[in-house]
Amino acid sequence: MLAFCVIAPLLDVGAKLAAENGIPVGQVTTARFVVQTALMLPVVVLMRLPMALDGKALAYTTLRALLLLVSTFAFVSGIQVMPLADALAIVFVEPFILLILGRLLFGDQVGPRRIAACAVGFVGVLFVIQPSLAAFGYVALWPLATAVLFALYMLVTRGISTWMHPVTMQFHTSWTGLLLCLPVMLLADGSGIPSLDPVWPAGWNWLWLFMVGFWAAVSHMCMTYALKFAPSATLAPLHYFEIVTAVTLGYLIFDDFPNPLTFLGIAIIVASGLYIIHRERLTAKAKAREPQITVLPEAP
C-alpha cells in the first residue's frame, strides 16, 4: 500500500499537466483506460489467465470500472484548477469513510484508538486543505466526490479480490472502463463541451496521457494486492502517506510551495499513520499469543 501512495501521485501529475495544456478532462480519463488496457493485455496473455467472465464477475468489474471512471473524472476536474496537494488533501476524507464502511459492511474490528488516530489525521488534513472552498469555490467539491467514489471502489475491489486474480481484475476493469468511456467521447465529439469534446494531443501531451495510464496501472496493481492480504481498516490510514508525495511533486513540478501550516498538517498526518501501524502490530502480537481452545464433543 505504501508503494501505491508513492506511485499514485505520478498519474495525478500527468493528468494535471495534460488538463492544464488543453486536454479535456473526459479525454484524460479515457486515455487512462486506453493505456491500462494496452499494458494489461500482454500481461494477462503471458500469465495465461482466464479472459472470459461469468455474469457475476462482469457485473462486479463493470461496477468497479464505473466507480474508477467517475472518480478519475471528478479528481482531474479538481486538479485542473487547484494545486495538486490541496485537491489530494480534500480526497483524504476517503480513509475515514473507508474505515466506517469497512466496519459497517465487512465487520472489520476498529478500536477506539485507531478511530482517534484517524480523527487526528483528519485534523492534519484540514491544516493542509486550508480554506479551499473560499479560494476555489465549488471546484473544491470535485475532490470530495472523488473521496466518496474511491472509498466505494476500494470496497468493491476488496470484495472481488477474494475470488479474482489481481491481474485479471485490473485487465477487465480497464477494458470495461474503456467501453464505458468511448460512447460518451464519440457523442461529445464536436459538441463544444469543454470537459468532454476531444482534441488531438500535441507535443508533450502524448507523454502526459501515457503517464496517466501507465502509473495508474502500476499503482492500482499495488493497491489491489494490498487489499487481497489486509483488511480495509488496516490499509485506510496508510493512504495518508500519499499526501507527502503529492506535496513534494507539487512543489518540484508546479512550484506550489507548502506554507508552514501545510507542513504542520503533513506532520500530523504522518504521525497518525505511524501510530496506527504501531497499534496494528500490537494487536497482531496479542492475537498470536491468545491460546487456541478446542471444543471436544460430549461423551455419549
Looking at the structure of the chain, the number of domains it has is 1
The Cα–Cα gap between 197 and 191 comes to: 6
Q: How confident is the model at residue 300 (pLDDT cuts 50, 70, 90)?
A: very low
The Cα–Cα gap between 130 and 135 comes to: 9
Contact 95, 118 (CB under 8 A): yes
Contact 67, 247 (CB under 8 A): no
The Cα–Cα gap between 218 and 193 comes to: 31
Q: Which residues are CB-neighbours of 24 under 8 A, at least 6 positions away?
A: 193, 194, 195, 196, 197, 198, 199
Give me the mean pLDDT over the 128-137 stretch: 71
The Cα–Cα gap between 137 and 91 comes to: 16
* 215-260 pLDDT per residue, tens: 998 887 787 777 677 765 567 667 777 878 888 898 899 988 777 8
Q: What 3-state DSSP class applies to 196? A: coil
Residue 202: inside a domain, yes or no?
Answer: yes
Residue 297: inside a domain, yes or no?
Answer: no
Tell me what pLDDT residue 189 has.
94
Residue 255: inside a domain, yes or no?
Answer: yes
Average pLDDT, the chain: 84
Tell me what pLDDT residue 211 has.
95
Tell me what pLDDT residue 297 has.
47
Letter string b/e over residues 198-207, b meaning 16 or more CB atoms within 10 A of that residue's CB? beebeeebee
Residue 294: inside a domain, yes or no?
Answer: no
- For the chain, strand residue ranges (E) read none
**Cell 506550489 -> residue:** 256
DSSP H stretches of helix in 162-197: 166-188
Dihedral sign from CA coordinates of 92, 94, 98, 100 = positive
Residue 293: inside a domain, yes or no?
Answer: no
Residue 298: inside a domain, yes or no?
Answer: no
Tell me what pLDDT residue 275 has.
79
Residue 193: inside a domain, yes or no?
Answer: yes
Residue 263: inside a domain, yes or no?
Answer: yes
End-to-end CA distance of the chain: 52
Q: Which residues are CB-neighbours of 109 under 8 A, at least 6 positions away?
A: 233
138 DSSP assignment: G
Tell me what pLDDT residue 36 has.
94
The Cα–Cα gap between 27 and 238 comes to: 30
Q: Which residues are CB-neighbours of 1 under 8 A, at least 6 positions away?
A: 222, 223, 226, 230, 235, 238, 239
Q: Is the predicted pLDDT of residue 199 greater than 90, yes or no?
A: yes
The Cα–Cα gap between 271 and 117 comes to: 9
Tell me what pLDDT residue 233 has.
58
Tell me what pLDDT residue 280 has.
66
Tell me what pLDDT residue 5 has.
82
> What DSSP element (H or E) covers 111?
none
**C-alpha 274, offset from chain centre:** 20
> What DSSP element (H or E) covers 109?
none
Give me the mean pLDDT over the 156-165 stretch: 83
The Cα–Cα gap between 222 and 166 comes to: 9
Full residue range of the structural domain in which residue 269 is found: 2-284
- Indicate the pTM of the whole model: 0.83
Tell me what pLDDT residue 238 has.
72
